[in-house]
Amino acid sequence: MSTYSSTDTSVVHPLTPLGWNHRVERAFDAVASASAHPLLPARVASSRRGGAVVRLPREAAADYSPAVTKAAQADPSTAPCSGDWVAVRRSGDVWLVEAVLERSGSLVRQGVAKDSHDQVLAANIDAVLICEAADQGPNVGRLERFLSLAWASGATPVVAVTKAEMAGDRLPEVLELVESVTMGADVYAVSAHTGLGLEELSARFLPGATWVLLGTSGAGKSSLVNAVAGRSLMDTGEIRQDRRGRHTTTHRQLLRLPGGALVLDIPGVRRIDVPGAEEGVDRAFADVAGLAEQCRFRDCRHDAEPGCAVNAAVDEGELDVRRLERWNRLRREAEWNRSRGDARLRTERRKQWKAAERQARENAWRKRGR
């Protein structure tokens, strides 16, 4: 692995290799200057209910402070997650996470149960690498879903068509199909086995940038990262198969590529629900959304309304009707998820108001009693 090197002589922050930058520095300074305790910045590699593994830059286990725990109970999306920058302090012989610093792009999974909360899968990400295997389709509906999610995160999506050598002569056809739905996101045909396209893709992994991998199980994410790194950073399918039943879940979740980019490994993202953000869907479907803006009526449902630019494009063969149907479905899903999120928020606010009212009454009562 290459070591981090700075070309100038200024002092390099020890967390720079983990993606530390001015934005994070300002966020940390604001928290640290308001704290009664001396705090240190750290980045979360992985987290679970009561604590996290953080990098200071050395790796350490950290528990959550009562304030962080309380906030996470009220809203789990505030709990530390992979990629988060946090402020920690030493308390006796343990590290305590005192605050989660303000996030830039984060990948959010919609809560699925009724009144369930969104879950932040990865925080402070700059780019999302969507992996779709060339030998199994590819599945454009799935790609559109991943792209919507990625755009909603605020990070830049990049698509890797993995196992490209398996497509053989069909590769141009596969790429054409992929590119018909990627709307300007860059697409790379890669093979971890033959090395195809790895150099071009590697050039995208800029030092200090944080990437997250999306793709179904077996899409070749781990193999791709290992091939780019030139060594085994992640367990691939075969290795996990061998280890089944043994307690060897020691692999890291915040990886550093030789070029200095960071990769967050978020295991177990099977079904992806689009978050309650139609903007993500509309970015992924920029062609359809652009047409919809030209409809005569602002609230056009693109059914049988007169002056519907979307249907006109379908009639003229410029827009695939299946893509239109998939856009409608994802949009409805996003709208529904958002309205559910809004309803949950209203319930929570009501609870908070009630608690505040109760507190005010108690305070008044105590004052009177004095």
Could you list the residues known to form a binding site, using ranges. 215-223, 295, 300, 302, 308
Q: Which of residues 166-225 bind ligand GTP (CB under 6 A)?
A: 166, 191-193, 215, 217-223
Of 68 and 295, CB closest to Zn ion: 295
Q: Using the rule CB under 5 A, is 326 a contact of Zn ion?
A: no
Say which entry of ligand GTP, Zn ion, none residue 253 contacts (CB below 5 to 8 A, set by partner kind).
Answer: none
> CB neighbours (10 Å) of residue 221?
25
Say which entry of Zn ion, ligand GTP, none residue 237 contacts (CB below 5 to 8 A, set by partner kind).
Answer: ligand GTP
235: Cβ contacts below 8 Å, ≥ 6 apart: 222, 243, 251
Q: Which of residues 111-170 bind ligand GTP (CB under 6 A)?
A: 162-163, 165-166
Burial of 293 (0-12, 13-18, 19+ CB in 10 A): exposed
In the list 302, 323, 326, 331, the residue contacting Zn ion (rule: CB under 5 A) is 302
Cα distances (angstroms) measured from residue 265 to each of 81, 190, 204, 213, 232: 12, 19, 18, 6, 14
In the list 128, 143, 308, 313, the residue contacting Zn ion (rule: CB under 5 A) is 308
Say which entry of ligand GTP, Zn ion, none residue 308 contacts (CB below 5 to 8 A, set by partner kind).
Answer: Zn ion
Cβ contact 274:335 at 8 Å: no
Closest CA to 255 of 246, 245, 267: 267
Of 100 and 130, CB closest to ligand GTP: 130
CB crowding 133-149: b at 16 or more within 10 Å, else e: bbbeebebbbbbbbbbb
In order, the DSSP letters of 66-79 are HHHHHHHHH-GGGS
Q: Which of residues 231-270 bind ligand GTP (CB under 6 A)?
A: 236-238
CB of 238 to ligand GTP, least distance (A): 6
How far is it, in rounded angstroms, from Cα 255 to Cα 194?
23
CB of 286 to Zn ion, least distance (A): 16
Of 173 and 318, CB closest to Zn ion: 318
How many CA atoms lie within 13 Å of 364's alpha carbon, on the beta-carbon side? Answer: 6
Number of residues in contact with ligand GTP, rule: CB under 6 A?
18
Structure tokens at 193: 């086995």
Task: Mark the segment that binds Zn ion (CB under 5 A) among 23-31, 156-164, 226-234, 310-318.
Answer: 310-318
Give me the sign of the Cα torsion angle 94, 98, 104, 106.
Answer: positive
186 three-class SS = strand
Of 165 and 333, CB closest to ligand GTP: 165
Residues 268-297, one symbol each (x = binds Zn ion by CB under 5 A, - = not), give: ---------------------------x--
CB of 172 to ligand GTP, least distance (A): 18
Of 168 and 307, CB closest to ligand GTP: 168
Closest CA to 125 of 90, 159, 161, 153: 153
Instruction: Provide the binding-site residues for Zn ion, judged by CB under 5 A.
Output: 295, 300, 302, 308, 310
Instruction: Provide the binding-site residues for ligand GTP, judged by CB under 6 A.
Output: 162-163, 165-166, 191-193, 215, 217-223, 236-238
